[in-house]
Chains A and B, each alone.
Chain A
Amino acid sequence: MNPETKTTGGFEPKIVAFVCNWCTYLGADLAGTNRLEYPANVRIIRLPCTGRVDFNLIVKAFEVGADAILVSGCHPGDCHYAAGNFHARRRWGLFRELLDTIGVDSRRVHFSWISAAEGAKFQKLVTEIVEKTRELGPYEDYKAIVAEK
C-alpha cells in the first residue's frame, strides 16, 4: 500500500521533528535519495545537535498545534559533538516525567536515534508516528490543559 494514501477530509496530524544536522537530517536526506516514500505530515527543523533542543521548543510546537513531536539525533557514541546527544537523552528522561505530571500525552512525544545511513529507519519511524497519531486523533486535549493552567 502506498503509505501516502490521500485522505480526503480525514484527520491529517501535524508532526514537528527536531533533528540534528549530522545524523538524522542526513538520514532523512538518504530516504529522499532512495525515494523512500512516507506521509507528508512531518516538518523537519534542522538543529546542529539534539543537545540544542531546549524542551520549551516542544511545548511551543504543541502550542502551535502539533499533534506529535519527534526529537532525533545520532546514535549514542556517534555524536558529531561527542556528547550532545547524551545531554539530550538525559534531559529527555526528566522532561518526559514532567510532561506526564502536567498531563501532556507522552504517546505524542517521540525520541529516537537515526544515523545518516538509516534512510529506511527514518521512513519507517515517520510512517509509524503518523499512523499512531492518526489513531490518537487531533490533540485537542492540549488546549484544555493550557486553559486549565
Chain B
Amino acid sequence: MAKIGVFTCWCGENIARHVDCDAVSNAVAKLPGVHCSLNYKYMCSEPGQNMIAEKIKELGLTGVVVASCSPHMHLKTFRKTAENAGLNPYLVEMANIREHCSWVHTDREIATAKAIELIGMAVEKVRRNHALEPIKVPVTKRALVIGAGVAGIQAALDVAAGGVEVVVVEKEPSVGGKMAGLSETFPTLDCSQCILTPRMVEVGQHPNIKLMTYCEVEKVDGYVGNFKVTIRKKARYVDITKCTGCGACWNACPMKGKIDNAFDFNLGFGHDKKLGKRSAIYVPFPQAVPARPTVDAENCLRLKSMKNGKELCGICQKQCAANAINFHDQDELIEIEVGAIVVATGYQLYSIGKEQENPNIQGYAEYGYGKYKDVVDSLQFERIISASGPTGGEPLRPSDGRVPEKIVFIQCVGSRDNAKGITYCSKICCMYTAKHTMLYKHKVHDGEAHVFYMDIRSGGKKYDEFVRRAIEQDGAIYHRGRVSKIEEQMVDGVKKLMVYGADTLSGKPVVVEADMVVLACAMTPTTGAPQLAQKLSVGYDEYGFLSESHPKLRPVETNAAGVFVCGACQGPKDIPETVAQASAAAGKVLIMLSQPNLTREPEIASVDERLCASCGACVKACPFQAITKEEIRDRNGNLVKTTSRVNPGLCMGCGTCVAVCPSKSVDLIGFTDDQIYAQVESLAD
C-alpha cells in the first residue's frame, strides 16, 4: 500500500502569490495513495527539509513528492533529505509548480488548478518508482591523453604529478604541437620554445608518463573507468630504444635539404632552395622529444625501391652505429586499458586556398595564397621570424629571400565571415597580429607594418596595452577595413604585392604596395577531429570543435562519461586559457581516478531478457554503443537464445532504445513506460 507524502512549497511569495497552497494541499490529499499533504514557506530550508524527514520516519512514507521549483534546482537536495531519513532517494519526485506554473501564470484560480494537476502527475509517477541503488563501476587507474601540444603536455604532467600513470599519444614524431613552432608569445614576448621545451623534456622523462609518439588512436571500446583503447604505432623504421640521436643518418641522407618540412609549414625560399627543407630520415626540429629520427616512407629512396623489389640507397643504415634502423618495420596495434581520456588534439589553420574539406566553407582565392609565394599564413610567418626557424629569425620573404620593407597583415581571414562559412571569432588573431607587427618592426626598424582589421578584440590581462604598444610605440599602421584583392606586380624589377583595401574610418580606398602579406586565418579543429569524436561518442559542432557538457559549469567534461576536453580542440583559445583548461581536465581526471569505484546514476536502460527477440533495433539505435547482443547458453554450452544486453557502465540513460523496441522488452529505469503512461493517464478528463 502506497504511502505518499506531498510537500508543497510556497517559495516565500514566489509560488504562494499565484498558487493557493492550502487549496493545493487539500486537493492533493484526496489523491489515491497520498497519506499526508503539507505545505510550508520554504521546503528547501532546514526546517522544511526536517519536516519532510520527520514525516518519512513518523509515517513510514513509501514515496515523496515535493511540489516546488524545477527538479534541476532541488531534486538532488530533496533526494538527499529522503536518504538521510532512511527512504531510498529514488522514491522522491518533484512537481515543478514554480517555473512551470506560478511564474508564468498570473491568474490565481487557473494556476492553482494547474498546480494540482502537475502534482497529480508526480504522484502517479512516484507510486510506480522503485528503490534504486547507484551503480558502482570499478576504475582503471590510468589516463590517456590524446595529443601532445601544450594542452596535452600540461594535462599529462598534472595527472602524472597526482600519482596516476598517463599514456600520451601523439600523431607527430615529436611532442610540442603548434606551440613548439611559435616565435614569441603575447603579451610578454617570451620565447615560445624557451618556456615549452622544459615541459616537453619533462613529459619525455616523467616516471608516470608513457610517451607514444608517431601513434594514433585506432579504436575505443569500453566505458568510463574501463576504456580499452587500440593505438596504431605507425612504422617509424627507427628503433628509438636503440637510437642515440647522434645525427649521422640524417646528415648522410641523399635527400637532405630536398623535402618540405611540415613543422615549418612547408616553407620554401627562392634564394636558397635548401632552406627549411629536411632529409628523408629526419627529426622535425632540433629540440624534438623524443630526439630520435623518423623515416618518411613517401620520400625515402630505400623504402620506395623496396616496393619494386629492389634495395637501393640504405646509406643511413650503413651510417648507424647503433644498428637502430629497420626498413622492415611495420605498423603495430597496441591495446591499452585506461580509466579516463583527455582529448587535446588542438587546431590547425583554415586553409585559405580554393579547395576545402568542409563543403560549407569557402576559400579566399582573391588573396592569392598558394599562387604568390610571398602571401603566407600566420603560422608560416611565425616560423619565418622564429629564432629557431629556417631563416634563423631573419625576416626574409619566401620568393627571393629579400628583407621585406612593407608587410601587410590581414586579420579575420575566414573568421567572422558568414559569406565564407565561418561565423566565429578565432580569438587570438588580433593579439598575434599585433605581436607580428612588433617582432617585424624590432627587426626591420624602418619597415612598415600595415594591418587591416574589422575590430580589435584584445580582452585579457595586459592584452589591450599590448596592442596599444604595437600601434603607439612600434608604429604599426592599422586600417579598419577589409582587403578585396591582392595582385602581384613587378615594380622596378622587384616583385610587389598590390593590396587593395579600404579604410572605413576615413571612408577611402587604401592601396599598399607590399613586399609580403601575412594572413591571420581562422582556427579550425585538426583534420580528423570529428572522426576521433565519433570513436569516443563525444559531440562536435558543424566545424568539428568538440562539445563540452555545459559551456559554463562543465567546461572540460563531455557528454561521454570519462572523456574530457582541453585546448583548441574545444574552441579557439590562447595559450594561457589552454593551459588553464588542461589543468582543469587533469583535475577532473584525478578526482575520477581517486576512488576505487565510480558511482553512476542508476536511471539507465534495462532489457527483459525473457521477452527480447534479439532483433537488434536497440543495438543500432544506441548512441553510446552500450547495447550488445549476447548469447545465453545452458550448462552444456548449447545456445538457448540470443538477447540484447545493456552495459550499465556505458548507458547514459537517454531511452532511445525503449522507443525503438518492437517487443517492449527494454525499459528505462526511472522513466519506465509504466510511469510515463500513468502520468499521461492522470490527465484524463
Contact = CB atoms under 8 A, between A and B. Distances in A.
Contacts of A16: 680, 683
B110 A81 contact: no
A82 B656 CA distance: 11
B99 A48 contact: no
Given A16-B683, A35-B103, A87-B621, A80 B677 contact: no
Nearest to A12: B110
A31 interface: yes
A81 B561 CA distance: 11
Given A29-B99, A64-B684, A84 B654 contact: yes
A107 interface: no
A26 interface: yes
Contact of A53 (B70, B603, B659, B677): B659
A52 interface: yes
A128 to B, nearest CB: 15
Contacts of A84: 623, 654-656
A43 B110 contact: no
B634 interface: no
B653 interface: yes
A53 B657 CA distance: 10
A57 interface: yes
Contacts of A53: 659
Interface string A71-108: 00000011111111001100100000000000000000
Contacts, number: 143
Given A16-B680, A79-B539, A4 B110 contact: yes
B685 A65 contact: yes
B544 to A, nearest CB: 12
A79 B107 CA distance: 35
B654 A80 contact: yes
A32 B559 CA distance: 26
B673 interface: yes
A132 to B, nearest CB: 19
Nearest to A117: B551
A81 B104 contact: no
Contact of B659 (A6, A38, A91): A91
Given A29-B72, A43-B117, A57-B677, A49 B100 contact: no
Contacts of A81: 559, 623-624, 652, 654, 656
A14 B684 CA distance: 10
A49 B656 contact: yes
A149 interface: no
- For the side of the interface on A, what is the size category? 35 or more
B99 A28 contact: yes
A54 B659 contact: yes
Interface string B606-628: 00000000000000010110000
A60 B99 CA distance: 26
Interface in B504-545: 537-539, 541-542
B656 A87 contact: yes
B400 interface: no
A91 B117 CA distance: 30
A5 to B, nearest CB: 9
Contact of A51 (B104, B539, B659): B659
Contacts of A44: 96, 100
A91 B660 CA distance: 9
A61 interface: yes
Contacts of A2: 106
A29 B538 CA distance: 26
A66 interface: yes
A40 B114 contact: yes
Contacts of A65: 683-685
Contact of B654 (A35, A37, A51, A60): A51
Nearest to B685: A65
Contacts of B658: 52, 54
B316 interface: no
Interface in A22-64: 25-26, 28-29, 31-33, 35-38, 40, 43-49, 51-55, 57, 60-61, 64
A74 to B, nearest CB: 10
A79 B558 CA distance: 12
Interface in B653-685: 653-656, 658-660, 668, 671, 673, 676-677, 679-681, 683-685
B106 A4 contact: yes
5 nearest CB pairs, A to B? A32-B99, A52-B655, A51-B656, A81-B654, A32-B103
18 contacts: A4-B105, A4-B106, A6-B107, A37-B105, A38-B105, A40-B113, A43-B118, A43-B121, A47-B671, A52-B671, A54-B659, A54-B673, A60-B677, A61-B680, A65-B685, A81-B559, A81-B656, A82-B538
Given A51-B623, A64-B680, 15 more contacts: A25-B70, A29-B72, A29-B99, A32-B104, A40-B101, A44-B96, A49-B654, A49-B655, A52-B671, A61-B680, A66-B683, A80-B654, A81-B624, A82-B538, A82-B539
